[in-house]
Amino acid sequence: MTQPVSTAHLIANMQDARNRTLELIQDLDDQQLMGPKIRTVNPLKWEIAHTAYFYEFFILRQLYGHDSVIGDRADELYDSINVHHDVRWDLPLPDRQGTLAYMQAVFDRLSERLVGSQNGGMASEQDSFIYQFGVFHEDMHTEAFLWARQTLAYPTPNLAVAADVSAERAAGGHPGWAMVPGGRITLGADRSAPFLFDNEKWAHEVVIAPFEIAMAPVTNGEFQAFVDSGGYETEAYWDQDGWAWCMEADAKHPVYWQPDGPGNWLLRRFEKVLPLPLNEAIIHVNWYEANAYCRWAGLRLPTEAEWEAAALGEAGSDGDLAPLKRHYPWGEAPPDPSRANLDGRALGPIDVAALPAGDSAFGCRQMLGNVWEWTADTFQAFPGFSADAYTEYSTMLFGSTKVLRGGAWTTRGRMMRGTYRNFFEPHRLNVFSGFRTCKLVTSRS
């Protein structure tokens, strides 16, 4: 059950999410706001209005019986389930001014409804859930706006939250292995969680064997060794589907790397090309690439349960995993910049040795923030799963996507916790995805 929060909290978070949306489009011209028709991004002029439509449809219309502020056109333009991706460029979309006016009108109605319904300043449990879901949905899309800008080589965004992270970009590597004891872990979210998504339901017991997991994500320098040794040309390192992807895509290296002479690489980040930062976490690699690296290195990806145990677990008095787990790798305090690279403040990944204050109980660093981490597992429903109001959120992608955990530098800290599950097709590589590895042979020694 969602814990009630104040109406002021909901309105402030809605405004903050909307501010981020506007920051990410304010410097783009009308042509950039539409962009080319490609599979992995949406036209931004459509997508920003879709975030407003989501609030309007699920809150104002479905729950409270309001009409859309633009009438029947709303469903014909902005319903992501029924408006196919490929036609979104061809719709009679309002111009920029009309789009922003629609978004503001929806925001105003949402705020007025909350203020008019408050009980001592607190929102109802129903409103606390669905308004937060709307905020987090917009947060997910602002992350998508960032990957669209990266995909299309648009300028580095000007975010108010951006900070000087030069120290974090000089922290270096963080090699080594963390030993995680075996035992029982409750995978998923507990019913007492203040907020959770349907695919986190419910915490259920899983037994795992002891294992060793890397203390940090794989770096660009480590991945370069795989590239330079011919990893993309060696079929033995790829599973069947991965090799088929590699051949079809004619992949020779990570998508945003550029060769710069023997043994040297450059990296494009937004519109800028820079020398490959060797100690930063590898980013924008798909599941197939992560899995191939593991095969080359004689390692493997962690299972989802292993990842959660390493991130949130603690050693019990008997040497096995303790029955309770943390909400965050470092404990119970919410994320802050000393513990996790989140919220876009770094405008990119940082060195994997940075932010030791965010270490898990087993010494694993950056298990929240910096880069999403691929796990070995296919995305499936947990026992006891039931869909929430947005029934398609998880159900459409069970069985066809792979699980990522931990969030990236682009992810909003307010929606992140150790049980959050992300999911993408194994071929997707423009999302902010990296990985860490496990040893093949487990041992208590």
Q: Is the domain of 392 the same as that of 438?
A: yes
Closest CA to 212 of 366, 376, 403, 443: 443
116 and 186, same domain (yes or no): no
Between the alpha carbon of residue 118 and those of residues 3, 7, 54, 112, the distances in Å are: 15, 7, 22, 10
| pLDDT tier at 191, thresholds 50, 70, 90 | confident
CATH number of residue 437's parent domain: 3.90.1580.10
Distances 166 to 162, 170, 280 between C-alpha atoms, Å: 12, 6, 12
Domain extent, residue 345, equals 161-445
Sheet hosting strand 211-214, strand order edge to edge? 177-180, 211-214, 438-439, 299-300
When comparing pLDDT for 442 and 229, which is higher?
A: 229
What is the per-residue pLDDT for 29? 98
Residue 53 domain-assigned (yes or no): yes
In a domain, 249, yes or no: yes
Residues 376 and 246 occupy one common structural domain = yes
Q: What is the largest CA-CA distance in the chain?
A: 67
Within-domain flag for 63? yes
Q: Packing angle between helix 96-117 and helix 125-151, nearest 10 degrees?
A: 160
Arithmetic mean of pLDDT, 274-297: 98
Q: Is residue 126 part of a domain?
A: yes
Task: Say what the pLDDT of residue 371 is.
Answer: 98
What confidence tens digit (pLDDT) does each residue in 116-165 have?
Answer: 876 779 999 999 999 999 999 999 999 999 999 999 999 999 999 999 99
CATH number of the domain enclosing 112? 1.20.120
Q: Is the pLDDT of residue 442 over 50?
A: no
Q: Do both 358 and 265 map to the same domain?
A: yes
Tokens coding 395: 């159900």
Q: What percent of the chain lies above the pLDDT cut of 90?
A: 94
CB within 8 Å of 250: residues ≥ 6 apart: none
Q: What is the pLDDT of residue 1?
A: 64
Q: Are strands 433-434 and 372-378 parallel, antiparallel or unpaired?
A: parallel
CB environment 396-410: b (16+ within 10 A), e (fewer): eeeeebbbbbbbbbb
Consecutive H or E run containing 7: helix 7-23
Q: What is the residue whose two structure tokens read 């029934």?
A: 391
- Is there a single domain that holds both residue 53 and residue 185? no
Which of 90, 124, 151 is at the close of a domain? 151
Q: How confident is the model at residue 2 (pLDDT cuts 50, 70, 90)?
A: confident
94 and 193 belong to one structural domain: no
Residues 228 and 123 in one domain: no
The last residue of a domain, from among 95, 117, 151: 151
Lowest mean pLDDT among 317-326, 366-375, 433-442: 433-442
Say if 212 falls within a structural domain: yes
Q: Are residues 391 and 434 in the same domain?
A: yes
Q: Indicate whether 387 belongs to any domain.
A: yes
Which residue do the tokens 């079809």 mark?
248
Q: Do 133 and 388 touch, CB atoms closer than 8 A?
A: yes
Give the mean pLDDT of 202-221: 97
Q: Where does the pLDDT of residue 192 fall: very low under 50, low under 70, confident under 90, or very high at 90 and above? A: confident
Domain boundary among 119, 151, 183: 151
In the chain, the number of structural domains is 2
| 417 and 375 part of one domain | yes
Q: Report if residue 406 sits inside a domain.
A: yes
Percent of the chain clearing pLDDT 70 (strictly above): 98
pLDDT at 151: 98
Question: Measured between alpha carbons, how far is 71 from 155 in angstroms, rounded to an integer?
Answer: 35
Average pLDDT over residues 282-291: 98
The rounded mean pLDDT for the chain is 96
Determine contact, residues 270/155, Cβ cutoff 8 Å. yes
